[in-house]
Amino acid sequence: MSQLLNLLDLDATGLASACAGWGERAFRARQLSRWVHQHGADDFDAMTDLAKSFRARLAQSATVRAPAVIRDHSSRDGTRKWLLDVGVGNAVEAVFIPEADRGTLCVSTQAGCAVNCRFCSTGKQGFSRNLSVSEIVGQLWLANRALGAYSQAAPGAAAGRARRPITNVVFMGMGEPLQNYAATLASLRVMLDDNAYGLSRRRVTVSTSGVVPMIDRLREDCPVALAVSLHAPNDALRDTLVPLNRKYPLAELMAACRRYLPAAPRDFITFEYVMLAGINDSDAQARELLACTDGVACKFNLIPFNPFPGSGLARPDDARISAFARILGDAGVVTTVRCTRGDDIDAACGQLAGEVRDRTRVAQRDPAFTTLLEAR
Ligand code: SAH
Ligand code: SF4
């Protein structure tokens, strides 16, 4: 079983070379891709327009396998989250957030995270491992299946796409996507591929804590929408909140953002800013933030901190968050405050994640999971 080639691990190039290896022409790879990603097929026998001999070959040498779902929770507001088994006691989550005009899937790229931001319990838990392409793309594949995206798909491989509940993907789950660059890049390529999910670059967002050289690589390889987790308006404070800042300080990060913009599919970068009471939420810091990001076309997304036990941090009150947002907005920068979604399954899911982790002696509940639930 373990030698089977998982087709969810392959982007178009990989699928083409696998097909070439099986003596199949290039268009077979595209057909196969449509079956897997647009019809959600995992049974080669159902791929009726492929030659029987090719189907038999596929059944022998390949598989279509996403991570196993440990728990599946639906919120009253339509938010849905899947806790996924990624082996050896590790679990990650994917979250679907429906809105009037779009449906967003938030995906994870690593089990744990090595960046170790002070306000993030994923970071506190340390780094476990990078997810593979099939574990990242598999989140989209299985969410589409669970959401009934494929139920209206016509059986013929050439048929058009079925109803699409997921219109947007954000890489804002567990992990730092740019520290798992190869798998993130291949996953992006699958998501954008017209023979797979066909998402537009504008509708796929990578969120990063600021891995400067990899922002440049992403610009060259696959410039999708970019969100940068800023959280502080100066190096002294950011060093303490996002330790990666010591390696890539703000001036370098802003320069990378300026280089990214001409290639970006949107004409702005989103700066995420977790609001921490008494730490980064003063009027003066809002003004300093404007100065620090001056010259970078941007929007601000303020994220009220989700507390977790032992963090020693707190969420500012609503009035403070509004005052901070108003200073940014009054300066002419579009500023949104992220609102919580999926409240009713929020705590339960965080606890479920905790349960699984407890088995591997990583005890704390993960607030990133609650962050995942929040609308962009
Ligand atoms: N590693 C990437 C993407 C995953 S984190 C990054 O840091 O950008 C996604 C977002 O959740 C980040 O903006 C992060 O700062 C935020 N986040 C993490 N812990 C949080 C918490 N306890 N409360 C609110 N937001 C949090
Ligand atoms: Fe990693 Fe992002 Fe959490 Fe920082 S905020 S520890 S980069 S997942």
Burial class (CB in 10 A: 0-12, 13-18, 19+), 5: middle
CB 129, CB 110: distance < 8 Å: yes
Q: Would you say 171 and 183 are in contact if contact means Cβ atoms under 8 Å apart?
A: no
**How much of the chain, in percent, has pLDDT values that exceed 70?**
86
Q: What are the tens digits of pLDDT across the range 201-237? A: 999 999 999 999 999 999 999 999 999 999 999 999 9
- Among left, alpha and beta (phi > 0; psi -120 to 50; other), residue 89 is left
Ligand 1 atom with least separation from CA of 227: 8
Q: What residue's CA is closest to ligand 1, atom 7?
A: 209
Gap between the Cα atoms of 242 and 232, Å rounded: 9
**Nearest atom, ligand 2, residue 123 CA:** 6
Who's near 303: CB < 8 A, 6+ residues apart?
A: 272, 273, 274, 275, 338, 371, 374
**Ligand 2 pocket test target in 106, 108, 118, 120 with most atoms within 8 Å of CB:** 120
The CA angle 205-252-367, to the nearest 5 degrees, is 45
Catalytic residues: 93, 349
Distance, first Cα to last Cα, the chain: 39
Q: Whose CA is nearest to atom 5 of ligand 1?
A: 172
Q: What angle do CA 252, 256, 259 make, to 5 degrees?
A: 140
pLDDT the model gives residue 258: 98
Q: How large is the average pLDDT for residues 50-69?
A: 97
Spell out the residues 6+ positions from residue 10 whose beta carbon is closer than 8 angstroms to its own: 18, 133, 186, 190
Q: In this structure, are residues 194 and 188 in contact, taking their beta carbons and an 8 Å threshold?
A: no
Q: Please provide the average confidence, as pLDDT, over all residues in the chain.
A: 89
Q: By three-state DSSP, how is residue 178 classified?
A: helix
Tell me: the pLDDT tens digits for 309-343? 888 999 999 999 999 999 999 999 999 998 766 65
Ligand nearest to the CA of 244: 2
Q: Return the pLDDT at 368.
A: 38
Residue 189 has pLDDT above 60, yes or no: yes
The answer to whether residue 347 scores a pLDDT higher than 70 is no
Is the pTM above the cut of 0.85?
yes
Mutate to test the pocket of ligand 1, among 95, 105, 139, 172 (most ligand atoms within 8 A of CB): 172
Specify the pLDDT at position 339. 76
Which of 71, 67, 91, 85 is CA-nearest to residue 368? 91
pLDDT in the model for residue 321: 97
The Å distance, Cα 172 to ligand 1 centre, comes to 7
Of 324, 280, 276, the closest CA to residue 300 belongs to 324
Is it the case that residue 137 has pLDDT exceeding 50? yes
Ligand 2 atom at minimum distance from 175 CA: 8
- The larger pLDDT score, comparing residue 346 to residue 16, is at 16
pLDDT digits (tens, 9 = 90+) for 241-275: 999 999 999 999 999 999 999 999 999 999 999 99
What does residue 268 show for φ and ψ, rounded to 5 degrees?
Answer: -150, 160
Spatial contact of 208 and 178, defined as CB atoms under 8 Å apart = yes
Q: In the structure, what pLDDT confidence band is assigned to residue 375 with cuts at 50, 70 and 90?
A: very low
Work out the burial of residue 192: count CB atoms within 10 Å of its CB; fewer than 13 is exposed, 13-18 middle, 19 or more buried.
Answer: buried
Give the ranges where the chain is alpha helix by DSSP (H).
Answer: 12-21, 26-33, 52-61, 121-124, 133-146, 181-192, 212-221, 235-241, 250-260, 283-292, 318-330, 343-359, 367-372
Instruction: Report pLDDT for 354.
Output: 43
**C-alpha separations of 272 from 245, 283, 303, 335 in Å:** 15, 17, 7, 10
Decide whether any atom of ligand 2 lies within 6 Å of the 113 Cβ: yes
Task: Tell me what pLDDT residue 356 has.
Answer: 52
Nearest alpha carbon to residue 104 among 183, 153, 166: 166
Among the bound ligands, name the one nearest to the CA of residue 365.
1
Joined tokens for residue 78: 């339509």
Does the structure show a pLDDT above 50 at 350?
no
- If one counts every other C-beta atom within 10 angstroms of the C-beta of residue 333, the result is 19
3-state secondary structure 44-71: HHHCCCCCHHHHHHHHHHEECCCCEEEE
SS3 5: strand
How far, in Å, CA of 115 to CA of 135, rounded?
Answer: 21
pLDDT at 285: 98
